[in-house]
Amino acid sequence: MKTALRPLADFTHKIQFLLTDIDDTITTNGQLSAESYSAISKLKQHGITVIPVTGRPAGWCDMIARFWPIDAVIGENGGLYYRYHDKKMHRWNFSDEKTLAVNQKKLQAIAAEIKLKIPNAAISADQFCRVYDLAVDFCEDIPHLSQAEIKQIVDVFHAHGATAKVSSIHVNGWFGAFNKVTTAKLLLQKEFGLTEAQILDQCAYIGDSPNDEPLFESFRHTFGVSNIKNFQSQMKHLPSYVSPSESGLGFCEIVDKIISL
């Protein structure tokens, strides 16, 4: 079993692929700072492949894949990935259009029930450009809901047979046997030709919250920005190393450490 939350200074392994969460990992208070964006660029300049892994929607991922200095992006908690390469967008989707249409109707029914049972919750402002999931806002654009209310939202998803994950800002729910780990490994194998052994040796992941836990469990080299400590008691699988600082500043510290190796 990995020793969790060791100081960042203890990390000594050279890596070639960096996968990272976005919200509250790269961003700070909902904003992408110049320092964080510069850190992504520095990774690219040093030949390290950068792949954001996020719960954010397909519409955002198309823009991120095209305009950020990255190599691919995984969105909607693993429902899709986009890679903009040689001026061509390569898209992968877990489901076909017919299945998506059926699942969207189910999610609309769940949204109606959540609005009825948890009136303080809100559907995420970015829902209009989502393909796979329903995102329920519990603190991004509204006052922070209680833990009991967040649990109620999760329970509604589960009662309908949907998967539900809690991020630092949303509860995301969807139908389909996909997640961030399965899609990350598929992307690394299909687009970059990595074997399972190479994924374990050459890849690292950075996150900040409980919805990153499957990646902390599955990847050998894992980092948390310091705000991961807020969730430590709720998690079984923690990152191996933790940055001194929170959010975007912590991300920059991790990037500097990776580049120094």
The Cα 248–Cα 137 span in angstroms is 21
161-198 exposure pattern, b = at least 16 Cβ within 10 A, e = fewer: ebbbbbbbbbbbbbbbebbbbebbbbbbeebbebeeee
- Of the candidates 41, 70, 42, the residue with the CA atom closest to the CA atom of residue 260: 42
The upper half-sphere exposure of residue 248, i.e. CA atoms within 13 Å in the direction of its Cβ, equals 15
pLDDT for 66-124, tens place per residue?
999 999 999 999 999 999 999 999 999 999 999 999 999 999 999 999 999 999 999 99
**Confidence (pLDDT) at 76:** 96
Residue 29: strand, helix, or coil: coil
pLDDT for the residue numbered 221: 98
**Please, are residues 31 and 21 in contact by the beta-carbon 8 Å criterion?**
no
- Higher pLDDT: 168 or 256? It is 256
| pLDDT at residue 198 tops 90 | yes
Using the predicted structure, report yes or no on whether residue 2 has a pLDDT greater than 80.
Answer: no
pLDDT at 160: 98
pLDDT digit string (tens) for 132-183? 999 999 999 999 999 999 999 999 999 999 999 998 899 999 999 999 999 9
pLDDT value for 211: 86
Question: Which amino acid makes up residue 124?
Answer: S
Binned at pLDDT 50, 70 and 90, residue 31 comes out as very high
Assign domain 6-94+178-260 to its CATH architecture. Answer: 3-Layer(aba) Sandwich (3.40)
Q: Where in the chain is the domain with CATH 3.90.1070.10?
A: 97-174
Read off the pLDDT of residues 176-189 as tens digits, 9 standing for 90 and up. Answer: 999 999 999 999 99
Supply the pLDDT for residue 4: 83
Count of other CB atoms within 10 angstroms of residue 236:
8
User: Percent of the chain beyond pLDDT 70?
Assistant: 99
Sheet holding 133-137, edge to edge: 122-123, 133-137, 170-174, 163-166
* DSSP secondary structure, 134-203, as one string: EEEESSSSSPPPPHHHHHHHHHHHHHTT-EEEE-SSEEEEE-SS--HHHHHHHHHHHHH---HHHHHHHE
Query: Per-residue confidence at 234, pLDDT binned at 50, 70, 90?
Result: confident
* Mean per-residue pLDDT, 21-30: 96
Name the segment(s) of the chain with CATH classification 3.40.50.1000.
6-94+178-260
The fraction of the chain above a pLDDT of 90, given in percent, is: 96
The SS3 of residue 22 is: coil
pLDDT at 254: 98
Distance separating alpha carbons of residues 92 and 238, to the nearest angstrom = 29
CATH class of 97-174: alpha beta
Query: Is the dihedral angle over the CA atoms 120, 123, 125, 126 positive or is it negative?
Result: positive
